[in-house]
A and B are shown apart, each in its own frame.
Chain A
Amino acid sequence: KAGVTQTPRYLIKTRGQQVTLSCSPISGHRSVSWYQQTPGQGLQFLFEYFSETQRNKGNFPGRFSGRQFSNSRSEMNVSTLELGDSALYLCASSWGGSGAGETQYFGPGTRLLVL
């Protein structure tokens, strides 16, 4: 079974721009979660989508948004980029998602640098 894939792997943007990141979960997984990882804050939860519906949301501003398609692929969007948005963005998939005691399968991440 193919693992979780994320595109692009690396991205450089300038302040004020917007960016869209993509995540393809493991086949059959219906839950996709997004995390931001920085050296200072560690892994912080952004949001979780399950069957095209946002099920949980972390404490991030509205500039961060996401969606999930009927094939479970997910995208996250960050508008009006700030320098502090530079981070590794990870997505993780599972069959049942939060509250199910399930393993989260992580992708390799997208490294975003905002200049």
Chain B
Amino acid sequence: SQKIEQNSEALNIQEGKTATLTCNYTNYSPAYLQWYRQDPGRGPVFLLLIRENEKEKRKERLKVTFDTTLKQSLFHITASQPADSATYLCALEVGNEKLTFGTGTRLTIIP
């Protein structure tokens, strides 16, 4: 069956360090992979999209990598801040299928 795993349910990182979140998938050949941020009681907010033919994408302190051989995406937040504390979701899009979300990683940046 198709599966998306975000390997840490919760991750605690010291302020100023780089937070790295992992998204692994099986049985997909996604055309796109997206990362979203969700704060408690709110809907997810789009952060970055990376295409299957792209290896890396950056936006300010955020970086996403996409390895279609390993079937893995890494999401990095550099110089992390307490305001980065949230749940981060990866989502895959395959052809004209629905966007499928992982279960999320709850990131806490410790001052």
Contacts and interface: CB of A to CB of B under 8 A. Distances in A.
Interface residues of A, number: 23
A92 B97 contact: no
B34 A103 contact: yes
Contacts, number: 64
A56 B98 contact: yes
Interface residues of B, number: 25
A43 interface: yes
A101 B93 contact: yes
A19 B54 CA distance: 43
A75 to B, nearest CB: 17
Contact of A98 (B41, B51, B89, B99): B99
B43 A109 contact: yes
B93 A109 contact: no
Nearest to A47: B98
Interface in A3-39: 4, 33, 35
Contacts of A90: 43-44
B42 interface: yes
A107 interface: yes
A45 interface: yes
A99 B97 contact: yes
A105 B32 contact: no
Interface stretch (B10-18, B76-84, B100-108): B100-108
Given A45-B100, A104-B91, 11 more contacts: A33-B98, A42-B104, A43-B104, A45-B101, A92-B43, A92-B44, A98-B96, A98-B97, A101-B49, A103-B49, A106-B36
Interface of A: 4, 33, 35, 42-45, 48, 56, 58, 90, 92, 98-99, 101, 103-109, 111
13 contacts: A35-B101, A42-B101, A43-B89, A45-B99, A45-B100, A56-B96, A56-B97, A92-B44, A98-B93, A101-B49, A104-B46, A104-B99, A106-B43
